[in-house]
Amino acid sequence: MIFDSHAHYDDESFNEDREQLIEELKDNGVVGILNCGASLEGARASVKFTKQYDFFYAAVGIHPEYADILNDDVIEELRSLAKESKVKAIGEIGLDYHYDGNPEKKVQKDAFIKQMKLAQELKLPVVIHDREAHEDTLNILKMFPEVIGVVHCFSGSVEFAKECIKLGYFIGFTGVVTFKNAKKAVEVAREIPMEKILLETDCPYMSPEPYRGKRNRSDYIEYIAMKIAEIKSETAINVKNQAILNTKKLFNI
C-alpha cells in the first residue's frame, strides 16, 4: 500500500487523463494522497478533489513563488477552505531563494509567517517548502513551537534534519533520493529514524529513477520506498507501512 504525502494533481499536465490515471492509482495500491495547494487556485482544486475521490486529502496554502498575492482576503479564504473536513494541513508554504524571479525574501518571509500563524490558530500541521533557505526556514519554524509538520522534498544536511525533527517535524523524501548524485538525501535517509520519514512524489515533478524526466505519479513511490529500504537495510513493505503510519499520525487521518 502507498500513501503519497505530497502531490499536485491539479497541475495542467494531468488535464488530458486525470480521471483515468486516478482510477489506475487506486488499482495499483495507492490508498491515500495529500494534494497540496501551491496557488489559491491549487488550494481550491485540492479541496474539490477531496469531494470527488474518497482517498484524497488536501493541504491549502500559498507557495513562496506566489507570496506576493497573500493579503487578508487570501488568508480569509484559506481559513474558510481549511474548515473542510478533509483539509489536513496548511501548505505548501515556506521559502524559495533559488529563482531570481520569485518575490523578494522579505515578502516570502512575511507570507510564510502569516500562514504559520493561521496553522497555529487552526491547530493544523504544515507542509514546508524550503529551497536554498535553510537558516531562515529554521528560524521561522522555531517561532512557532506549537506547530509541527513536514519539510517536504528535503534538501538540507543531516544536522538540519535533526534540528527539524527536534521541533517535531517529519522529513519528506521524493524521487531525488534515487538519483545517482543524491548523496545528501541518501545520508539524511540513513541517519534519521524511520518514524520520522514520509514518502512523497511531488508529482508531476521529481520522478524517481527509472522515470527521471518523465511525468511523475503516486504509484512511483514504490521506487522511493525500495531505495530507502536499501539505504536502511530494511524491506520496502516495512518502509511503506511505517510511512503510512507516520503520514496518518501527522495529518490526523
Which residues make beta-bridge pairs with 151? 128, 171
- DSSP H helical segments within 174-220, as ranges? 183-191
Chain CA centroid to CA 2, Å? 15
Cell of 205: 515533478
- Can you give the pLDDT of all 253 residues of the chain as single tens digits? 999 999 999 999 999 999 999 999 999 999 999 999 999 999 999 999 999 999 999 999 999 999 999 999 999 999 999 999 999 999 999 999 999 899 999 999 999 999 999 999 999 999 999 999 999 999 999 999 999 999 999 999 999 999 999 999 999 999 999 999 999 999 999 999 999 999 999 999 999 999 999 999 999 999 999 999 999 999 999 999 999 999 999 999 9
Which residues make beta-bridge pairs with 36? 59
Q: Identify residue 224 by its one-letter amino acid code.
A: I
Q: What's the CA gap between 20 and 83, in Å, rounded?
A: 29
Q: What's the CA gap between 20 and 27, in Å, rounded?
A: 11
Q: Identify residue 79 by its one-letter amino acid code.
A: R
Contacts of 159 (CB under 8 A, 6+ apart): none
Q: What's the CA gap between 206 and 63, in Å, rounded?
A: 17
Q: What's the CA gap between 19 and 15, in Å, rounded?
A: 9
Contacts of 81 (CB under 8 A, 6+ apart): 43, 44, 47, 58, 60, 87
Domain ranges of the chain: 2-251
**pTM, two decimal places:** 0.97
Q: Which CATH architecture has domain 2-251?
A: Alpha-Beta Barrel (3.20)
